[in-house]
Chains A and B, each alone.
Chain A
Amino acid sequence: MELTANAFGRNARKALLDKTLQEALGRTTGRFLAHRDAAAAAFPEFEATRERASRIKRDVLDHLDTYLARFIEEAEKRGTIVHVARDAGQAREIAARIARDEGVTLAVKSKSMAAEEVSLNEALEGAGVTVVESDLGEFIIQLAGEAPSHIIAPAVHKTREQVSRLFERHLGEPRTDSIPELVGMARRHLRAKFLSAGMGVSGGNFLVADTGSVVLVTNEGNGRMGTALPRVHLAVVGIEKVIPRMADLPTFLRLLPRSASGQTISSYVSIVTGTRRAGDPEGPERMHILLLDCGRSAILEGKYREILKCIRCAACLNTCPVYQSVGGHAYGWVYSGPIGAVLTPLLVGLPEAAALPDASTLCGACADVCPVKIPLPDFLLELRSDARDQGLKTPGEIAAMKGYAGVMKRAGLLEAIERIGGVLGQFFTKGKGIGGLPYPFSGWTERRDFPAPAAQPFRKLWKIRRGVTR
């Protein structure tokens, strides 16, 4: 997928002017968030479960070599062919080779961020395979030739009218504004693909080390059909998705759907282990797992290791005021929202995505909802200082920050500036904020507006309130 993370400012501006997107975002993130909060509140063990999940994941990261080796051993014991890719190019090569060796011409794919990360579809298509996305949202954006804009709701930016138009053009279906009819059209079309595809491609929400199983969590049932009906199953999964034991799975299954959509459990959880056994009427004859490093072992080595605990629930997206305003495309790569703002720079290199850690107000909401307790705001802050150390900030921005720090350390100076600011502020104010300030403050306003100063500084109001007069 094309990387435009450093164009966040331009991408965001475009998103803010897109009326359809704005409506969809408001509707979606608000609803997911409300459901998530209700589900967490209705589950008294939620906090204890978060703590446990976080500890299990930390143990996994401390011993990833051990657990991954166990996973591979158990998977191979059950007939699974395990491949390892160091980077995206290698992953594409391996996938293309698998498709060619297996003689596959049609593949049904269920949603996978990992596959998106390495542009797997391109590789398969290069090997002569037609890849059909089977998740309804992914199917819609595949027809539209676009990229997903939300981890669990990839077509959140499309209206039913746009969907109907796509189905008319690509599937020859009549126009309708009934959503159930649209879902029925996709169901019919995709059913035929499931029944004739030679290969099912999936991601994996969890890899179970002690049994060599891949776990898929879906609501539509596409993951299940794609891994049970075709002759070959290829699962593309990041190495950090390992959990130690099958007995740990319930802990994560209690968190993922609740955090994602507020469901107690998703409609389907499929636990697939190895190839079909003798006498099994379904299940693939051949099962491949493609494990992706693609930068993960490097992350494991450094101070951002805990980002690898992520279970891709998207709760941090839904709760993030920046994501709520600009949506997923603005982040310019596969991952968006707070997780994207941290993970993308780590996976593609900070110079390629230095704009993303700034795409946050550091309000802390993401850390509050993260089911595995990743300190996202700390990481965002740390990445900003890395960006500065690596010379990725403009001199103006650095000067502005230095000036700001200098002022904040001197109470008297701050007070004086507040007083002058209250008066001068109005000259620079456009609408709600201050746009182009003169140097060195332009370093701040290059990419963001500064809020207009209040006529009365907070500290004065506070003194008045406490009855201190001077």
Chain B
Amino acid sequence: MNEREALFRRLAAACGSHGAAAGEPPPGEAPPATEGDRVARFAEAFSAAGGFLLRGPVEAILSDLGEMLRAEGVTALFFPEDDAAAREFAMALVPFGPFTLTTGTEVRGGGAAVTAGFRTAEAAIAETGTIVETSAGGKTLLPGMIADVHVSILSAASVVARMEEALAAFGADPPRNISFLSGPSKTGDIEQTLTVGAHGPKKAIALLLPPERTE
């Protein structure tokens, strides 16, 4: 008898379930309120988690974003090769600062530049102020992982009310990596003092595309 069989023998004895059907999901949880404007609720929760949401006309977004990135000392921008919206924003931003374009591979290889990583988010969750990024379809997670500043590009149509809706979208076969990103990387490990940028981005920015650009 191998270890696994031995374990299941012990468990069967201990559970006493004798192959009885496992339970249905218990009722009883009132789902968090879902009324109201999803985008407005996302904006509120995202900023509560320490993120910055930029919205409005693209020109205004670009100039605000340029200023924020300069303030963080960002000098290099990167985006996934196959992410058109991210490319468009990063390229449009170059004139707004002393920014050069680089690639995720280069950033991963090391290098001293302070970077901003751009990426289109698959979804966002209003309940928790969360950006959802996944590896579905061979997408990279590097911009939200190894950049100093993470810039998510978000369409209003992709904002869902609760975590349930976001997870249901994957069905029975989730991609290898699903990342819920809620604000910047944080640590309180030294004297319980909240400090950003432990391992991931020091700043999390989301650009909410105006409705006419969401298709």
Contacts and interface: CB of A to CB of B under 8 A. Distances in A.
A binds B: yes
Interface of A: 24, 27-28, 31, 43-45, 48-49, 51-52, 55-56, 59, 61-69, 72, 82, 84-86, 90, 134-137, 140, 153-156, 158-160, 163, 179-180, 182-184, 186-187, 190-192, 194-195, 210-211, 213, 219-222, 224-225, 227-229, 239, 244-251, 253-254, 261, 263-283, 291, 293, 297-298, 300-301
B48 interface: yes
B135 A45 contact: no
Interface of B: 3-4, 6-8, 10-17, 19-20, 22-23, 25-33, 45, 48-50, 104, 108-110, 128-130, 135, 137-142, 145-146, 162-164, 167-168, 170, 172-193, 195, 197-201
Given A153-B189, A228-B145, A282-B140, 4 more contacts: A192-B110, A224-B145, A254-B163, A273-B178
A49 B127 CA distance: 15
Contact of B141 (A153, A156, A282): A282
Residue with the highest number of chain A CB atoms closer than 10 Å, among B22, B129, B176: B176
A267 B50 CA distance: 9
A282 B189 contact: no
Nearest to B186: A219
B198 A280 contact: no
A268 B200 contact: yes
A291 B4 CA distance: 10
A64 B170 CA distance: 25
A88 B8 CA distance: 18
5 contacts: A62-B22, A86-B3, A211-B172, A211-B174, A293-B7
B200 A52 contact: no
Contact of B175 (A160, A191, A268, A277): A277
A220 B140 contact: no
Chain A, interface SS category: helix
Contacts of A28: 192
Given A219-B185, A300-B15, A136 B180 contact: no
A267 B185 contact: yes
Chain B, interface SS category: loop
A281 B140 contact: yes
A49 B15 contact: no
Contacts of B22: 59, 62-63, 66-67, 244
B190 A179 contact: yes
Contact of B138 (A27, A184, A280): A280
Contact of A84 (B4, B185, B188): B4
A273 B167 CA distance: 13
Given A187-B199, A277-B176, A52 B26 contact: yes
B150 to A, nearest CB: 10
A90 B3 contact: yes
A263 B199 CA distance: 19
B176 to A, nearest CB: 4
Contacts of B182: 264-269
Nearest to B195: A183
A277 B173 CA distance: 12
A137 B189 contact: yes
Task: In the A-B complex, list the 5 residue pairs whose CB atoms are closest, starting with the nearest.
Answer: A221-B200, A279-B138, A220-B198, A137-B189, A250-B163
Contact of A222 (B184, B197, B199): B199
A183 B14 contact: no
Residue with the highest number of chain B CB atoms closer than 10 Å, among A28, A65, A163, A291: A65
B193 A179 contact: yes
Given A137-B189, A271-B178, A220 B200 contact: yes
B35 to A, nearest CB: 13
Contacts of B162: 250
Contacts of B164: 247, 250
A7 B11 CA distance: 33
A228 B177 contact: yes
B8 to A, nearest CB: 6
Given A221-B199, A225-B146, A62 B138 contact: no
Contact of B130 (A65, A249, A265, A301): A265
Given A270-B179, A283-B177, A224 B200 contact: yes
B128 A272 contact: no
Given A45-B30, A65-B17, A180 B195 contact: yes
A283 B110 CA distance: 19
Contacts of A278: 138
A220 B164 CA distance: 24
Given A59-B26, A250-B163, A160 B192 contact: no
Contacts of B170: 246
Given A183-B197, A281-B138, A274 B176 contact: yes
Contacts of A61: 15
Contact of A264 (B128, B188, B191): B128
A251 B163 CA distance: 9
Contacts of A213: 174
A283 B10 CA distance: 34
Residue with the highest number of chain A CB atoms closer than 10 Å, among B45, B109, B138: B138
Nearest to A287: B176
B179 A27 contact: no
A160 B25 contact: no
B178 A65 contact: no
A137 B174 CA distance: 31
A246 B167 CA distance: 7
B175 to A, nearest CB: 7
A280 B135 contact: yes
Contacts of A210: 172
Residue with the highest number of chain B CB atoms closer than 10 Å, among A51, A221, A269: A221
A133 to B, nearest CB: 11
Nearest to A51: B28
A158 to B, nearest CB: 7
B53 to A, nearest CB: 16
